[in-house]
Amino acid sequence: MNNIVTMKWLLARLYEPDLVIVDCRFALGKPESGRAAYEESHIPRAVYLDLEKDLSSPITQHGGRHPLPDLDQLAQRLGQSGIQESSRVVIYDDQGGAMASRLWWLLKYTGHEQAYVMDEGFTAWKNASFPVTGEQPIIIPVPYEINLKPDKLVLVDEVREASQHGNKTLIDSRDPLRYAGAQEPLDAKAGHIPGAVNYFWKGVLDDSGHWKDAGELREHFTDIPQDADIIVYCGSGVTACPNVLALEEAGYGNVKLYAGSWSDWISYEENPVATGDE
């Protein structure tokens, strides 16, 4: 696995100086709960980054429910967390990797090579009787240099084109009921982008909550040609990120995130909506 590390891998390297550990626990609808959980107990040396305060911008008319953060502010926040070019960054959450993958993607998008998501999550770490602490680390701020990789991101125009012409593979990462438009707990319209296929993001995990290995992920995505141009979206550009990571693990070389996702798509009145199972 290129982007996933095990809990034992992290435990063995916990105090290596070039390692930065980031706690990204977050619960949608309970925005303060992640930081509260961090302050109570976390992996030693871990810093906390908040999905909405640190890894997203404020909501505007377009851009979805979790717009990408302002890059200057993100660079400042990453630098304040002790992340620099030489850092190995290991990220964890307690949400199956959904929040951790968002930071993983942002690091890759801004040109940081050594970013990894920890398999399982904080509860599994604690249950394994690995060390935890309530103490917050003292961080010396460092400069975080952005070396943007714009080919990792698509905006709404490119998604419209892919939807109309079918020249790219559109992957919807949401629960099948939301994809089909049978229910929509979060957004103003139900359904999916016409032409998209549904791969619920939790399908990249096995029954015990571990990430599937590269072979299992290739099997999971077997209907998608290896040379396909792939655009991945979800509701707001968060749970699409585990699918992006999993596709990379499975050997797909051209995978992009539609960061605005469904909540951005429906912010344009003229964008068509499909329902049911295509």
What residues are annotated to the active site? 234
Q: Which residue has the tokens 């604690």?
A: 126
- Cβ count within 10 A of residue 12: 10
Q: Which residues are 112's β-sheet partners?
A: none
Q: Which two tokens stand for residue 101?
A: 């993958």
* Torsion-angle region of 97 (φ positive above 0: left; ψ -120 to 50: alpha; else: beta): left
Helix H, strand E, coil C: the string for 176-226 is HHHHHCCCCCCCCCCCECCCCEECCHHHHECCCCCECCHHHHHHHCCCCCC
| Residue type for position 104 | W
Q: Under DSSP, is residue 99 helix (H, G, I), strand (E, B) or coil? A: helix
Q: Which residues contact 150 (CB under 8 A, 6 or more apart)?
A: none
